[in-house]
């Protein structure tokens, strides 16, 4: 079912009764497109992670904390390259009902089932969304929105955004906003609907 959103809708990219230990990376491969290393080194020094990997009380009832070091490392990114600054692994419980959202790039169909999602439906200014989720303009125009249910039994990483260096003139700092990393979203989501971004000026 296709719905039309008011505003240029965006995603991509939530605290818990039991809070797992958050892990900050020293070196990890960023799942988002990389920027030039020399720019990252020169302009985006490492900064302390901010925010919490703990789930809200409502979400905590739908998940249980688990250990998966490999999955966690795949979600962590180096300063200036996006992905997560810190994260914790959770698994959705049997019978859980969790809706997640992803803004994606309509010119790249594979982007529809990418790794980066959010618990909250995008709203408000596109520029603030890009800042909160550290989404560089080169990575996505954010012109489509995918809304899906997370399959019970799925492992995810919940964490806070790493800094991102988009260009000489644009960068985003570490963010407290929670993001959701799913290793294989094409297999781990269901009951999806798609919406278009439209112009709306205020």
The 3-state DSSP class for residue 192 equals: strand
Question: Computed over its alpha carbons, how large is the radius of gyration of the chain?
Answer: 16
Structure confidence by residue, pLDDT tens digits, 22-34: 444 433 333 344 3
SS3 content of the chain, % helix, strand, coil (to 5): 15, 30, 55
Q: Which helix (H) or strand (E) holds 181?
A: strand 178-181
Asked whether the beta carbons of 182 and 12 are under 8 A apart, the reply is no
Structure confidence by residue, pLDDT tens digits, 123-177: 999 999 999 999 999 999 999 999 999 999 999 999 999 999 999 999 999 999 9
* DSSP-derived secondary structure letter, 53: -
Asked whether the beta carbons of 77 and 27 are under 8 A apart, the reply is no
Rounded mean pLDDT of 111-116? 93
What is the value of pTM for the model shown?
0.76
Structure confidence by residue, pLDDT tens digits, 94-111: 999 999 999 999 999 888
What's the whole-number average pLDDT of the chain?
A: 82
């Amino acid at each position: 079912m296709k719905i039309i959103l008011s505003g240029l809708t965006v995603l991509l990219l939530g605290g818990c009764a039991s809070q797992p230990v958050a892990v900050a990376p020293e070196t990890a491969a960023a799942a988002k497109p990389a920027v030039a290393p020399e720019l990252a080194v020169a302009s985006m020094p490492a900064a302390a992670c901010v925010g919490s990997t703990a789930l809200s009380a409502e979400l905590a009832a739908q998940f249980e904390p688990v250990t998966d070091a490999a999955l966690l490392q795949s979600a962590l990114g180096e300063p200036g390259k996006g992905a997560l600054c810190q994260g914790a692994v959770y698994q959705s419980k049997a019978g859980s009902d969790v809706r997640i959202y992803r803004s994606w790039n309509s010119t790249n169909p594979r982007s529809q089932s990418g790794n980066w999602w959010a618990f909250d439906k995008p709203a408000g200014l596109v520029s603030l969304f890009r800042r909160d989720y550290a989404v560089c303009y080169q990575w996505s125009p954010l012109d489509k929105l995918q809304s899906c249910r997370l399959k019970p039994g799925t492992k995810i990483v919940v964490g806070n955004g790493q800094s991102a260096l988009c260009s000489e003139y644009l960068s985003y700092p570490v963010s407290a906003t929670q993001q959701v990393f799913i290793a294989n979203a094409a297999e781990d989501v269901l009951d999806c609907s798609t919406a278009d971004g439209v112009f709306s000026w205020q």
